[in-house]
Amino acid sequence: MAQKKTTTNLAELLLQCMSEPDPMLSMLEWLCDQMMEAEISTRIGAEKSQHTIDRQGYRSGYRPRRFDTRMGTIYLMVPKMRQGGYVPFFVSDRKRSEAALIQVVQEAFVNGVSTRKMERLAKSLGIENLSRSQVSNMAKEMDEQVEAFRNRSLEDNRYPVLWVDALYEKVRYDGRVVSMAILLVCGVNEAGAREVLAVEPMLEESRESYAQLFERLKSRGLTAPSLVISDAHAGLVAAIRESFPGACWQRCKVHFMRNILVHVPHRDKQVFAGKLKQIWLAPDMETARRRAAALVEEYEKRFPQAIRILEDGLEDSLAFFCFPALDFRKTSSSNMLERLNKEIRRRTRVVGIFPNPASYLRLVATYLMEYSEDWSSARAYLSAQSIQDAFLSAA
């Protein structure tokens, strides 16, 4: 489509758009361009090419961005800022993930696995009659975006902190419904910004599957992290130690507490949990160990299994104390991924059973692409200074 001239003459603009194959879509594209220019100018504090001492930043060209709407697909030229990211405000109202969700519903219909719930969802999204070719073309376009995201190079940044977890959904595979895992890795770069680094589908959560995940990350340019945070899945822990020798492993304190509290009677859970939490709220590692020792002495005869689990895993759950410069609320657990998984499940719940593994990966990956875009323009998750003090100054 030819670039439309900027004009404030409405009649001239309408005539220009009417000459396009789809006048309404052309008008929408022009409107989006104007809204982006107005928003970026407000954020920077200066119009394009305007010189002012009050400006808060500088433009840095444009990046293409596909934008799917109910009227059709347009390709926006999104302004870039020299420092910090920029995501148009209206993108959150119509994200590419809705297109992925539509595609899941379409595939379900084509493969004959639709349900009454899915039909209601489809009607709310404007889906009526579909052909296999329509579904195939839409999936192909989405797959290209997903693969580019999953295979992008990681060589330009170092990620000293990683969080690793798995997400499960029911998927039709080889003619039967199975529980399929999506292995997720998020990291914080040297500037303290979060990024989704890996989205890998696996039929099982094992040492071998996690080893393959880490090897693929390294082949994309990931350097060895200094701190890896996860639950205590045996295969995951073994793969971390093999793939990243020298890295510190932090056992998620939240998962650890759940493992312990399973062996405490319900009537005693609240009191015991209150004392247990104080271990990880200690100001330093030695105080945490003293509090743990006191808890062991008080409860070892009443709840021997819970105390045994605490003693066996205590040191791994205290690893975050080795990095006092970092915010312990964010490095002592995998809550960041837990919240992310919760948001993804809230959106995938409408599907129920995915028609195939590709549609599951496609939908999850598009959601994660959007989260990464939002994170790029949000505040740093960990301060750059804390990362410098914790890792880089000692390097």
Of residues 179 and 394, which shows the higher confidence score?
A: 179
What are residue 393's DSSP bridge partners? none
In the predicted structure, residue 88 carries a pLDDT above the cut 90: no
What are residue 230's DSSP bridge partners? 251
In the predicted structure, residue 306 carries a pLDDT above the cut 70: yes
Please state the rounded mean pLDDT for residues 224-229: 96
* Radius of gyration for the chain, computed over Cα atoms and rounded to the nearest angstrom: 25
| pLDDT tens string 234-248 | 999 999 999 999 999
In the predicted structure, residue 283 carries a pLDDT above the cut 80: yes
pLDDT score for 3:
43
Please state the rounded mean pLDDT for residues 22-51: 78
Q: Phi/psi of residue 46, each to 5°? A: -160, 145
Residue given tokens 């593994």 in the structure block: 357
Residue 162 makes CB contacts below 8 A (sequence gap 6+) with 185, 186, 187, 197, 225, 227, 228, 229
pLDDT band at 364 (very low <50, low <70, confident <90, very high): confident
Out of 62-66, 76-80, 106-110, which region has the weakest mean confidence (pLDDT)? 106-110
Residue 285: closest CA among 336, 328, 334: 328
Out of 49-53, 178-182, 370-374, which region has the weakest mean confidence (pLDDT)? 49-53
* pLDDT mean across residues, the chain: 82
Q: Which two tokens stand for residue 391?
A: 């890792």
| CA dist., res. 395 & res. 333, Å (int) | 25
| pLDDT tens string 58-68 | 888 887 877 76
pLDDT band at 139 (very low <50, low <70, confident <90, very high): low
Please state the rounded mean pLDDT for residues 167-177: 89
Out of 111-120, 214-223, 263-272, 303-312, which region has the weakest mean confidence (pLDDT)? 111-120
In the predicted structure, residue 375 carries a pLDDT above the cut 60: yes
Q: What percent of the chain has pLDDT over 90?
A: 46
pLDDT score for 343:
84
> Could you give the C-alpha distances from 45 to 42, 229, 378, 379, in angstroms and in order?
5, 40, 18, 19
In the predicted structure, residue 381 carries a pLDDT above the cut 50: yes
pTM: 0.70
Of residues 219 and 21, which shows the higher confidence score?
A: 219
Residue 237, H or E segment: helix 234-243
pLDDT score for 302:
95
In the predicted structure, residue 13 carries a pLDDT above the cut 50: yes
Q: What does the DSSP assignment read for 122-184?
A: HHHTT-----HHHHHHHHHHHHHHHHHHHT---TT----EEEEEEEEEEEEETTEEEEEEEEE
